[in-house]
Chain A
Amino acid sequence: MQINFTIKTEKLKLFSSRVSGLFSERSVLLISFFLAITSTTWFFIMDKIVAYGDAESHLNIAKRVVDGLTPGFAQLGGIWLPLPHVFLIPFVKIDFLWRSGLAGSIVSGTAYIISALFIYKIILLLFNNKTAAFMGAIVFVTNLNILYLQATPMTELTLIVFFVISTYYFLKFLNGSRIIDLIIAAFFGFCATLSRYDGWFFVGIEILILMLVYNPIKKIPKSFSELSKAWDIKKWHKMEGILILFTTLGFLGIVMWLGWDALILGDPFYFTHSEFSAKSQQQGWLAQGQLPTYHNLWLSFAYYFVTAMNGVGMLVYFISLVGFVIYLKNRENKNRFMVGLLLANTFLFYVLTLFMGQSVIFIPHITPLSFDWTLFNVRYGVMMVPFAAVFFGYLFSLSRLSGKFFMILLLMFQFGLYAIGYSSPLSYEDGVRGLSSSKRVDAEKWLKINYNGGLVLEDDFSRQLSIIRSGVPMQNVIYIGNKPYWEESLKEPEKYAKWIIVQQNDTIDKRIYQPPAMNGRLFKYFKLAYTSPEILIFERNDLPANSQ
């Protein structure tokens, strides 16, 4: 016995066309906007927007430009690239947005929405399939790691948006050779180079692709005499022009940054030489024997492969890898290796930097338990989400109806894995319990209640005590970037500060609290108002309340 359902083909086509009409840019914008607002509200209620230690630092850098003791663009510093902080500036001016971290949510959230749109456009451009483009965008916008990071002041989304916009116009240029597309790609590449150092590699890859696509070598010369014949001079000139055009804008950001560091900090490579640089921090791990990927290509690959798997979501990741392989195998795809290289550039970048010891990732069950930490920097994996979205979309475009249905099922199953606790968004976990998390110390609460005005001397690089949670106005904080307040306070602590926060092993601890002579001076002018194992807070003896 059979049960039959019959539908008229005409009606089915009508329904199908109506449904496919929903897979538009507008839908992507609406969905991403809705998800951005919802998830940001959720993380705001849960007080997790500024969970990362770095999140507060980004907010504070921007805040000091407009509201610090010595405001100005010099406060942007010379380690982290400036563009994410520049975007934060108008929002951190409002104290509530600064202290809550919502200033960062606005910037990252906007980047998230635009990224979703351009991922849709990239897939549409490459595969000319609206449904696939929509599914790719869905993969991106529903990624839990992305949803968390877009609610925070972290810089990943800022880079991703420039990466996808530049990629879109770059691919458009490769398809149609319109110079305007190349210029736009170069401009957003320029923005990427001023957002995160990953952007430098990205622009480098774009240049490499241009050289490969426009290479003037007709064939590999077998002898020296064949060299001139193998060389196409017209093509050479074309490549030269394109490269100069792209590089001028694409590399401008890098040149600007080197110039900035030279001008402000006296060393164009301050960002890599200084004690605050990532490289210096990695040296510390190396000295402890806790940099497993250093000069180990296999482990570098394995670490980032797993990090990317978590960043993307396990099932989506493997589906996208299948899509990637099929894409590369399909000879019909024009410039397929170039497209693959462009979209997978972040993978190469992280494997390379892990290998060189320029970055570090700790991930549970890969990192040995004997290490001090097993969860750190796993958010780097989210840089592969656009890659995964595009190749998920590609595979979707190739699949038949049953295959499409199956892929949607797997995408839903991915959420099931999160729901049952099999998978967890480690970018969020790292902010909450990993080494990247900011500590919530009791001293913050104490200061919030007892602070009654006056300048506060604090080494904020130590980051044990949060300025935004302590209630101290930014213009009342003396930190390393406030010349001459900082240097003078280290010699004469009583000169400006009413409050001194000593955090275990920070500069103030080493320069004021530990040396006996300075310690005597400290206790002469200040009384110990708060004590905890890690933090001491001193209050000036002789100043009346509410004076600065």
Chain B
Amino acid sequence: MNLNIKNLLAIIFLVFFAATLYILTLRGAPGNPDPLTIKSLMEGDTKPMELSPERGRFAHVMALGDYGTYALPQVLADFVYPDVGFYQDRYYSFFAPGVSYMAVPFYNLGKLYDLSQVFTFALVSLVSIGAMIFMFLIARQIFKLSLWASIFAPLIFAFGSSAWSYAITLYQHHFAVFFFMAGFYAAWAYGKNTKWSWVWGFVPWISYAAAFTVDYPNLLFLLPMMIYFFMQAWKLQKNNIFWRISFRSSFILVSIGFIIITAWHLNFNAINFGGWQKLSGTLTSYRKLEFTPVINEHIAATTTIYSTTTTIPNAMAPKGGTFTLVTATSTTVTSIVIATTTATTTTFITTINVTNIALKEELQKNAIGYFLETKFPFGAYILLVSSERGLFVFWPIIIFSFVGIYEAFKHHKAEVSALIGGISANMFLYFSWGDPWGGWAFGPRYMILSIAILSLFVSYSMARGGLQRRIEIFILFAYSSFISLIGALTTNAIPPMAEAIPLAADYTYFRNMSFFIEGKSGSFFYNAYANVYLSLQEYGLIIYLSLLLVVAFVLFVMPKLKHAN
């Protein structure tokens, strides 16, 4: 990494600026939540644990930090519900374990300051800043963009898109961006074939393995980066006499990091999920079925039962209740027996046929069962143009990225191909996903990796354009960053249209606007300190104007400066 003073200063600026904005918007509440008090963080709008992805990961962090085990105790399993499954007598969320493991040191550190949740979430902000640094380096050193254009690329991504909302809470998306960008940059540096360039070879391997622990689809998303890395290991010499193909053996040697992390990951799967090839997402669902019994007059009007496709573990028995599920009738459930149990007796109550539910879940419980080609068009519609999650709606600046791709491809075919590969893999997978909305979410959260890559091309396009293009980009940035800011300051809990209509809720970013106007914020800093002095609107406006001022400086002043090019 050839870091001259200008680049170093630019990185320092990015780190401080991004850290400031992230601190101002980081979601959280003071205190060290415990399993009994944690529910207060999820009840109500704009709370730090408003949705199950952050709940699931945080519950595992708590389990690791407080109990020294990845498995969730019953009370945390109920907290994570419905994204929870089980194996034998143990509960797990459906999320990959990487984020939770990485967050444990931050959780423990936060506990010392009575801010365990805030510190845990801050990890994601740090990772995002790391991703921004690599984006800067890619723009600067690989695409040879000017200093100001290179600074702008990470800013568009981090603060000009809905990615902002996911850098201040416990989601996996920024990890994917970080590992992709770090791996890509390192693969390029490895390809320079200098004396010490082989050291860079460790990074793509480690990134690939670590990204897989964070989110399983990363295996596909980072594959183009790995192919690019692989291609960097080859060299072709040809002349009239011979063709010589050379392969750098260091490519294999530096894979040690990958081997170690992957071995740990597979062993983790074997210990927790019963097989090295079993992923948390394929665990049997822990389901509470509301049911109104009519057979026995002693049964309460509504009780909770559990369905499964295997025998029911004792751990699933609801504690403190009168009724306990005794057993399923076979390994593939056709019915569930409900009975009351005491230490010595079991009284039969009823049998409920669950064939359809069980089989349906069984069919869907494999890694690719949720992805179908026929879902692709609708997924593309939702994630590209719909008012719910459309990339073009939340981030219209994307249109300039097409120009950037076209221009960059002429000069950097291999690099642009790898980056487009990342975007294609990301879009291909999530367009085909059964839930392109990403559940209740703000903006196209599944497109965050694509947004990061496309930001590089927006910058590329801007660097090649004139003042007019910069003005156009600035206007679109102002629009996108405002939406992103109100999303970051308020909530990610935006329902898909189909769920919003029965709830009479808004399914667009106007829901965030309502919270913004009402002064409801999830920001730790605002709620803990600033709300005494400022209304949420004033607070937001200060952040927004500061951001625009900095971006205006980068776009319109820096190009005039001699040392900024």
Does B249 belong to the interface (CB within 8 Å)?
Answer: yes
Do residues A422 and B432 form an inter-chain contact, with CB atoms below 8 A?
yes
Does B376 belong to the interface (CB within 8 Å)?
Answer: yes
Q: Which of A457-510 contact B (CB under 8 A)?
A: none
Do residues A423 and B373 form an inter-chain contact, with CB atoms below 8 A?
yes
Sample 22 A-B pairs with CB under 8 A, ordered by A number.
A2-B246, A2-B248, A3-B246, A4-B246, A5-B246, A5-B247, A6-B243, A7-B244, A8-B243, A9-B240, A9-B241, A9-B243, A309-B377, A310-B374, A363-B374, A364-B374, A365-B374, A365-B375, A365-B377, A366-B377, A366-B378, A422-B368
Does B250 belong to the interface (CB within 8 Å)?
Answer: yes
Does A12 belong to the interface (CB within 8 Å)?
Answer: yes
Do residues A421 and B242 form an inter-chain contact, with CB atoms below 8 A?
no
Given contacts A9-B240, A421-B368, A422-B371, contact A365 B378 (CB under 8 A): yes
Do residues B244 and A424 form an inter-chain contact, with CB atoms below 8 A?
no
Q: Nearest-CB distance from B430 to chain A (Å)? A: 13
Does B238 belong to the interface (CB within 8 Å)?
Answer: yes
Do residues B250 and A1 form an inter-chain contact, with CB atoms below 8 A?
yes
Nearest opposing residue in chain B for A3, CB measure: B247
Do residues A422 and B372 form an inter-chain contact, with CB atoms below 8 A?
yes
Q: Which residues on the B side are within 8 Å of A305 (C-beta)? A: 377
Using C-beta atoms within 8 Å of the partner chain, give the interface range for chain B: 20 to 34
A7 to B244, CA, bound (A): 6
Do residues B373 and A314 form an inter-chain contact, with CB atoms below 8 A?
yes
Q: Which of B244, B368, B374 contacts A4 (CB 8 A)?
A: B244
Q: Which residues on the A side are within 8 Å of B373 (C-beta)? A: 309-310, 314, 417, 422-424
Does A94 belong to the interface (CB within 8 Å)?
Answer: no
Q: Which residues on the A side are within 8 Å of B244 (C-beta)? A: 4-7
Q: Which residues on the A side are within 8 Å of B242 (C-beta)? A: 6-9
Do residues A5 and B245 form an inter-chain contact, with CB atoms below 8 A?
yes
Q: Which residues on the A side are within 8 Å of B374 (C-beta)? A: 306, 310, 363-366, 426
Q: Which of A6, A364, A420 contacts B368 (CB 8 A)?
A: A420
Q: Which of A414-466 contact B (CB under 8 A)?
A: 417, 420-424, 426
Residues in A lying within 8 Å of B, measured CB to CB: 1-9, 12, 302, 305-306, 309-310, 314, 363-366, 417, 420-424, 426
Does B239 belong to the interface (CB within 8 Å)?
Answer: yes
Instruction: List 17 other contacts, CB 8 Å, given A7-B242, A305-B377.
Output: A2-B247, A2-B248, A2-B249, A3-B249, A6-B243, A6-B244, A7-B244, A7-B245, A8-B242, A9-B239, A9-B243, A309-B373, A314-B376, A365-B375, A365-B378, A422-B372, A422-B373
Residues in B lying within 8 Å of A, measured CB to CB: 235, 238-250, 368-369, 371-378, 432
Q: Nearest-CB distance from A240 to chain B (Å)? A: 45
Q: Which residues on the A side are within 8 Å of B249 (C-beta)? A: 1-3
Pairs of residues from A and B, 10 with the lowest C-beta to C-beta distance, nearest first: A423-B373, A365-B374, A364-B374, A3-B247, A5-B245, A2-B246, A1-B249, A6-B244, A306-B377, A365-B375
A305 to B372, CA, bound (A): 17
Q: Nearest-CB distance from B552 to chain A (Å)? A: 37
Q: Nearest-CB distance from B431 to chain A (Å)? A: 10
Do residues B377 and A4 form an inter-chain contact, with CB atoms below 8 A?
no
Nearest opposing residue in chain A for B377, CB measure: A306
Q: Nearest-CB distance from A36 to chain B (Å)? A: 25
Q: Which residues on the A side are within 8 Å of B369 (C-beta)? A: 421
Q: Which residues on the B side are within 8 Å of A426 (C-beta)? A: 374
Q: Nearest-CB distance from B391 to chain A (Å)? A: 18
Q: Nearest-CB distance from B530 to chain A (Å)? A: 46
Nearest opposing residue in chain B for A1, CB measure: B249
A493 to B245, CA, bound (A): 83
A520 to B91, CA, bound (A): 69
Q: Which residues on the B side are within 8 Å of A424 (C-beta)? A: 373
A420 to B238, CA, bound (A): 40
Residue among A5, A8, A310, A365 with most chain B CB within 10 A: A365
Q: Which residues on the B side are within 8 Å of A420 (C-beta)? A: 368
A181 to B241, CA, bound (A): 46
Q: Which residues on the A side are within 8 Å of B235 (C-beta)? A: 2
A423 to B238, CA, bound (A): 41
Q: Nearest-CB distance from B436 to chain A (Å)? A: 11
Q: Which residues on the B side are within 8 Å of A417 (C-beta)? A: 373
Nearest opposing residue in chain A for B245, CB measure: A5
A398 to B243, CA, bound (A): 23
Q: Which residues on the A side are within 8 Å of B247 (C-beta)? A: 2-5
A310 to B376, CA, bound (A): 11
A305 to B245, CA, bound (A): 43
A309 to B376, CA, bound (A): 10
